[in-house]
Amino acid sequence: MSDHSPSSLVSSGAAIDIAGLVQRFAAQTVLDGIDIRLDPGRVLALLGPSGCGKTTLLKLLAGLSRPTEGRIAIGGETVVDARTFVPPERRGLGMVFQDYALWPHMSVGANVAFPLEVRGVARRERAARVTEALGMVGLAGFEAREPGSLSGGQQQRVALARAVVARPRVLLFDEPLSNLDRDLRESLCAEIGQLLRELGTTAVYVTHDHEEAFSLADTVAVMRAGKVCQMAPPELLVNEPASLEVVEFLKLGALRQGVRTERGWRLAGGLELVSPEPLVGAAVGPGHLFIPHAALRPGPSHALRGQVIAQRYRGGHYATTVRVGSDHEAFDLAWLTDQRMPLRHAVGLDLDWSRLRWFPQAA
Ligand SMILES: Nc1ncnc2c1ncn2[C@@H]1O[C@H](COP(=O)(O)OP(=O)(O)OP(=O)(O)O)[C@@H](O)[C@H]1O
């Protein structure tokens, strides 16, 4: 964020242990047996579609509600189970919300100082730590400003300074960037990631944005319908998605129904993929083939032939949509190239066969 050293705000992050967490509201089961262990200082993203239970899980961590069943421990101490409930203010947390939640009648400095005031920190130390926290988020000298006079991005930086000023053991983020425009989202996301690493705080970050989750987090929990489908570092999720659900949600390529043959796959619609090398693993039979975007590369074998149907310039490359396969069963793949191409331009692509994933149909 700035080159200000965060020395006095560095905290020792706490481990988080969640075991058998269930949340029911009347007949609806919103969290259905969540087990998560997060090591101290790690950043976990909870990623999933609207309504999958992300915010409900974050609220349980924060102590803003109580689970129907299960246990949460922070730093080895049980903060909630059937017998225990530690209130939010005693959990050692900092929180950043989507809507900033700043107090409009208080100056920026007073907003950031508030968690220290509540903890009875002396005025002189308070002032020094507020200055430092504002410096860290790139708002040095903003103490006297009114929150209402700041841009959305600046208000979120104030909220971030307020969340870190009391050296929390755990930081919780609930979709903090979703009210900001794309460029600002990208830059603030990178800055938050850097800040978290400098501070060493454990963090849980709720988002439905894949890019945010993948760029910020050490570990991503993909959630669907109250369950964690897969929890893994971003590169593992991309290369080894555990299930069709994860593949479908992450949208990192094309998923096609087909039949595994001795030498490759015959996809619905008739497209044949024949591997140059013998395939290992999985028996022949029906299932789904996942062709990740990352498996595409230019080359002479032209395992896949298609037509360019769209190109978008982004960050030095053309994100190119290539339509492959016959008319009624055509599918689209995204390919990064530095060449500009006319619409309907015919392209032949090679495949990195080792990156294809086959999900055999359950017997
Ligand atoms: N206090 C409550 N009482 C009844 N139902 C609730 C309550 N809180 C949440 N729900 C329901 O639980 C489900 C999950 O909500 P939650 O806010 O956790 O989802 P989410 O994954 O964070 O979604 P979004 O990305 O839209 O915020 C929703 O169907 C919601 O209506």
CB 323 within 8 A of CB 332: yes
Backbone angles phi, psi at 116, to 5 degrees: -75, -35
- Helix (H) or strand (E) holding 161, with range, is helix 152-164
CB 9 within 8 A of CB 136: yes
Write the residue with the smallest CA distance to atom 24 of ligand 1.
Answer: 50
Give the distance (Å) from ligand 1 centre to CA of residue 100.
Answer: 20
Taking residues 131-155, what's their average pLDDT?
93
Give 30's DSSP letter. E
In Å, how far from its chain's centre is CA 314? 21
Write the residue with the smallest CA distance to atom 29 of ligand 1.
Answer: 51
- Identify the weakest region by mean pLDDT among 136-140, 222-226, 314-318: 314-318
pLDDT of 113 above 90: yes
Which residues have CB under 6 Å of ligand 1? Answer: 25, 30, 48, 50-56, 208
Write the residue with the smallest CA distance to atom 1 of ligand 1.
Answer: 25
Ligand 1 atom index nearest CA of 58: 18
The pLDDT tens digits of the residues spanning 24-74 come to 999 999 999 999 999 999 999 999 999 999 999 999 999 999 999 999 999
Give the distance (Å) from ligand 1 centre to CA of residue 265.
Answer: 41
Provide the CATH topology of domain 16-240. Answer: Rossmann fold (3.40.50)
- Identify the weakest region by mean pLDDT among 16-25, 67-76, 179-188: 179-188
Mean pLDDT for the chain? 90
Reading the block at residue 114, the tokens are 């508030």
Give the distance (Å) from ligand 1 centre to CA of residue 53.
Answer: 6
pLDDT of 362 above 70: yes
Give the distance (Å) from ligand 1 centre to CA of residue 56.
Answer: 6
Ligand 1 atom index nearest CA of 56: 18
CB 44 within 8 A of CB 206: no
Write the residue with the smallest CA distance to atom 19 of ligand 1.
Answer: 51
- ipTM score assigned to the predicted complex: 0.96
pTM of the model: 0.88
Ligand 1 atom index nearest CA of 55: 22
Helix, strand, or coil (residue 25): strand
Ligand 1 atom index nearest CA of 23: 12
pLDDT of 227 above 90: yes
Confidence of residue 239 (pLDDT cuts 50, 70, 90): confident
pLDDT at 189: 92
Give the distance (Å) from ligand 1 centre to CA of residue 266.
Answer: 41
Got the DSSP string for 194-254? HHHHHHT-EEEEEES-HHHHHHH-SEEEEEETTEEEEEE-HHHHHHS--SHHHHHHHT-EE
Give the distance (Å) from ligand 1 centre to CA of residue 223.
Answer: 13
Write the residue with the smallest CA distance to atom 11 of ligand 1.
Answer: 30
Give the distance (Å) from ligand 1 centre to CA of residue 305.
Answer: 44
Taking residues 266-289, what's their average pLDDT?
84
Q: Which of 29, 54, 172, 178 to mutate to test the pocket of ligand 1 (most atoms within 8 A of CB)?
A: 54
Ligand 1 atom index nearest CA of 48: 21
Ligand 1 atom index nearest CA of 226: 14
The domain spans of the chain are: 16-240, 252-360
Are β-strands 227-232 and 253-260 bridged in parallel, bridged antiparallel, or unpaired? unpaired
Reading the block at residue 129, the tokens are 């730590």
pLDDT at 298: 77
